Amino acid sequence: MSIQSRFMPHTHIHEQKFDNEELKIIDYIEKSKSQLRNSFLKNIQSGRDGILKRLIASIIRENILGLRNSEIIIHKENGKWGEQHACPTSVMKHLQAEATLYETYTEISALFLHNNDAYLVIPINKRYAFGRVEVNTPISIIMKDGYSKRISHSVEILELLVKEGWEGDQEAIDVFKHDLTNSSANLTFAYAHYE
């Protein structure tokens, strides 16, 4: 299955894609709290990004599947991404082509996904003791052939981890997937309430 076709299916409403948990909250809002609808819709990606960043930070901190062992750290020097001898050409080309996406960052982490033959490109805000990191978005997957895709939901990361060899019975993986979608939808709902 290609990287382009593996990611989570969504339902379309007015050209925006929603997962089932988001649709449940939209249904609730439309029935009970219609004043929150626009705010919820506006914050969908922020809610998804919040959970995505937490998941990625945990993967790095806990060295899930040994991915931190493959980490390449790329620093910005004088406004340009430093030429790293270990940095794959596909990652460097992505950083240069998408310079405006990464203009506020000074450090990028690239984690190699062996079974996917790709890199996760992750902006790093700050590093702390004991492998803790504060990550940001956009998080992208870069294939060796140069194809890139922005990761927009934590479920996409779960699917990549499973392909990397993360083991668990299918029921546990499905529960984790539900937890990720539910957490993203509820964080979006909290953001909508906060506005």
Joined tokens for residue 35:
């004043």
Q: In whole angstroms, what is the distance from residue 102 CA to residue 96 CA? A: 9
Residue from 178, 166, 167, 159 nearest 2 by CA = 159
User: Do the beta carbons of residue 82 and residue 75 sit within 8 Å?
Assistant: yes
**pLDDT value at residue 42:** 94
pLDDT digits (tens, 9 = 90+) for 68-77: 998 999 988 8
How many Cβ atoms sit within 10 Å of the Cβ of residue 40? 23
pLDDT band at 41; cut points 50, 70, 90: very high
How many Cβ atoms sit within 10 Å of the Cβ of residue 89? 9
Residue 76: which residues within 8 A CB-CB, separation 6 or more? 82, 105, 106, 107
pLDDT digits (tens, 9 = 90+) for 140-171: 999 988 899 999 999 999 999 999 998 888 99
pTM of the model: 0.87
Q: In whole angstroms, what is the distance from residue 148 CA to residue 141 CA? A: 6
Q: In whole angstroms, what is the distance from residue 18 CA to residue 21 CA? A: 8
Residues 18-171+182-194, CATH architecture: 2-Layer Sandwich (3.30)
Q: In whole angstroms, what is the distance from residue 100 CA to residue 94 CA? A: 11
Residue from 61, 64, 26 nearest 44 by CA = 26
**pLDDT value at residue 9:** 42
- Burial class of 194 by CB neighbour count within 10 A (0 to 12, 13 to 18, 19+): exposed
Residue 139: which residues within 8 A CB-CB, separation 6 or more? 52, 53, 56, 120, 121, 122, 123, 150, 151
Q: Where are the domains of the chain?
A: 18-171+182-194
pLDDT band at 179; cut points 50, 70, 90: very high
Average model confidence (pLDDT) for the chain?
87
pLDDT digits (tens, 9 = 90+) for 90-107: 898 898 888 888 889 989
Fill in the DSSP letter of residue 144. T
